[in-house]
Amino acid sequence: MPKMAVLVVFGLLLSLAMVCNGGITSTFVRKTESTVDMPYESDAFQIPPGHNAPQQVHITQGDQEGTAMIVSWITPDEPGSSVVLFWSDKHKTKKAEGKAKQYKYHDYTSGYIHHCTIRKLEHNTKYYYKIGIGQAERTFWFVTPSAVGPDAPYTFGLLGDLGQTFDSNKTLAHYESNPLKGQTVLCLGDLSYADNHPNHDQVKWDTFGRFIERSAAYQPWIHTAGNHEIDYAPEIGETKPFKPYQHRYTTPFKASGSTSPFWYSVKIASAHIIVLSSYSSYGKYTPQYKWLEQELPKVNRDETPWLIVLVHSPWYNSYNYHYMEGETMRVQFESWFVQHKVDVVFAGHVHAYERSERVSNIANNLENGKCSPVKDQSAPVYITIGDGGNIEGIATNMRDPQPDYSAYREASFGHAIFDIKNRTHAYYSWHRNDDGAAVKADSMWFFNRYHHPGDPCKCKDSYFLYHLSKQFVPRNLYSCTH
C-alpha cells in the first residue's frame, strides 16, 4: 500500500474518531428506598437445623490451576468434624481433613471456623461435598473450571460492597437469576459491614456468612480485602487489622508465591486474576510491591490471555466519594499495568457504578506538566462496581462535568458479568437491580489487549478499517480512539 493510502486511512480513522462521543452520565432514576440491614430473624440468615449444623459454608479456589478448593464453614456449639467427604459421578468418595479455629473479638467469641482444602480435583467436573460428618450432615456441590488454556470460555460474576441489607439480597438474587450464569464470583471487598455497628458487632459477620451461603457454597468466591475488613478498633482493644476477615475467609496465597492472604493470584480457565490489597503497604520495597513486580512478568498470555486485576479502592473514580483515595496505589503501579497490558481492573469501595475509557496517566515526572489521563490502548478499562447495596446507601454525588476518563456512570445498585468467549473476545455487562436480570444497563465487548489490541468501541466503521489496514498502519494509530 502506498504512503498516500496509509494517510487516507489514517485520516478516515481520525474523522470517525471525532464522531464518537465522550462519557455518559446515566439519567436513570432509581426508586429511593432506605437501605437497611435485613433483621436477624430474616429468611436470608436462616440457621440450618440440627445440633451443631455447619453454617456459613463458602468455597474458594484452593490452588493456582483450579484443581483444589478450600471449603470453609462454622460449627456453632462444639468443634465437630473438620472432615470433608467429596465425590463425583466418576470419582468415588474421598476424604480430606481440615482444621478448626476460633477467635475472640472484644466480648465476642466466634464459633469453630473450619477450613479444609480438597485437592486433585478433575477439571470441568461437578463434585458433591459433605460436611458436619457424624452430626448434622449437609451436602453441597460445585463445578470445577475447565483446564487453564487460552480459549477456555468462562463467566465471572462481579459483586462489590455487598453488605446484608434488603438491597444486598436483591443484588445477590439478581446475580443468581442472571441467564448469563456466572461460574465464579470476583468479590471486590467490603463484605459484612459489621464495623458499622457497636463494637464491630461480630454477629453481623455470622449473619453475612449465612446470607451468602446460598451462592458461595456452590461456586467459588475470589475475595479482595476492603476497608470494612480491617476491623481495627484500638478503643475496644482490637489492634490486629483484618482479624475477623482473616479467620473467616481464606485465600490460596501461598500457591502464587505470596506471603500474605491479601494479595495473590489464581488462574481460572483463560484468565489470570491478580488480587491486590489497598489496605496493605505497597510502596517500593514492601512485600506486596515485590510480589507484584515478580508476578506480572510471570503471566503467560499464551496460556491465560485475560489479565484481570481486583482491588478495593478504585484508581479512576469520578464520584465525590473516596475521590482520589486510590491515587497513591495508581502512582505506584499504573505504569506496570500499561506495560503488561492488563485487560481490566475491577474495584469496589464507591457505592455506585462506573466504567472508564482506556486511559493512563503515567507520563508525569513532576517537571513536564503531563499530569492528565490520556487515551491509551495498552491501558486497562477501570470498572467500579461497589454497588452491592450495603447499609451505607448509594453514592449519588458525581463530579461535574464528567471527566474525560469516565465512559459511563450511574448511581444504581447492581452486579456485572465478565463473559470470556475465547482469547480475543469477552463480553462485559452491568445489570442494575431495578431491571430484569437479563437487561444490560451498560455493556461492551472487550478485545484482549495482548491478542487483539484494537477496540470495537462505538465506531464500528473504524473497527472495520482496523482490520482493513492493520498490516500498514502503525499499532498506535489503527486502534479506535473514540
Ligand X SMILES: *[C@@H]1O[C@H](CO)[C@@H](O)[C@H](O)[C@H]1NC(C)=O
Residues that bind ligand X (CB under 6 A): 38, 42-44, 166, 169, 173, 421-422, 424-425
What residue 459 binds from ligand X, Fe ion, none (CB within 5 to 8 A, per partner kind)?
A: none
Contact residues for 228 (Cβ-Cβ < 8 A; gap 6+): 189, 190, 191, 192, 193, 194, 195, 196
Identify the residue among 248, 340, 349, 358 touching Fe ion (CB under 5 A).
349
Please tell me the distance from the alpha carbon of residue 191 to that of residue 209, in angstroms, as a whole number: 9
What residue 409 binds from Fe ion, ligand X, none (CB within 5 to 8 A, per partner kind)?
A: none
Query: Which is closer to ligand X, CB of 8 or CB of 47?
Result: 47
What residue 422 binds from ligand X, Fe ion, none (CB within 5 to 8 A, per partner kind)?
A: ligand X
Asked if 226 interacts with Fe ion (CB under 5 A), we say yes
What residue 42 binds from ligand X, Fe ion, none (CB within 5 to 8 A, per partner kind)?
A: ligand X
What residue 190 binds from ligand X, Fe ion, none (CB within 5 to 8 A, per partner kind)?
A: Fe ion
Query: Which is closer to ligand X, CB of 16 or CB of 38?
Result: 38
Of 322, 340, 415, 482, the active-site residue reads 322
Query: Which is closer to ligand X, CB of 159 or CB of 274?
Result: 159
Q: How far is the CB of 221 from Fe ion (least distance, A)?
A: 17
Q: How far is the CB of 224 from Fe ion (least distance, A)?
A: 10
Q: How far is the CB of 19 from ligand X (least distance, A)?
A: 24
How does strand 381-385 pair with strand 344-347? parallel
Query: Which is closer to ligand X, CB of 35 or CB of 251?
Result: 35
CB 139 within 8 A of CB 127: no
Active site annotation includes 51: no
* Binding residues for Fe ion restricted to 134-193, rule: CB under 5 A: 190
What residue 399 binds from ligand X, Fe ion, none (CB within 5 to 8 A, per partner kind)?
A: none
Query: Which is closer to ligand X, CB of 42 or CB of 135?
Result: 42
Q: How far is the CB of 196 from Fe ion (least distance, A)?
A: 11
Asked if 195 interacts with Fe ion (CB under 5 A), we say no
Asked if 54 interacts with Fe ion (CB under 5 A), we say no
Query: Which is closer to Fe ion, CB of 190 or CB of 334?
Result: 190
Identify the residue among 61, 72, 81, 227 touching Fe ion (CB under 5 A).
227
Asked if 387 interacts with Fe ion (CB under 5 A), we say no
Q: How far is the CB of 470 from ligand X (least distance, A)?
A: 16
Asked if 343 interacts with Fe ion (CB under 5 A), we say no
What residue 349 binds from ligand X, Fe ion, none (CB within 5 to 8 A, per partner kind)?
A: Fe ion
Asked if 229 interacts with Fe ion (CB under 5 A), we say no
Q: How far is the CB of 441 from Fe ion (least distance, A)?
A: 22
Q: How far is the CB of 32 from ligand X (least distance, A)?
A: 18
Query: Which is closer to ligand X, CB of 175 or CB of 253?
Result: 175
Catalogue the active-site residues.
322
Question: Where does this chain bind Fe ion (CB under 5 A)?
Answer: 190, 226-227, 349
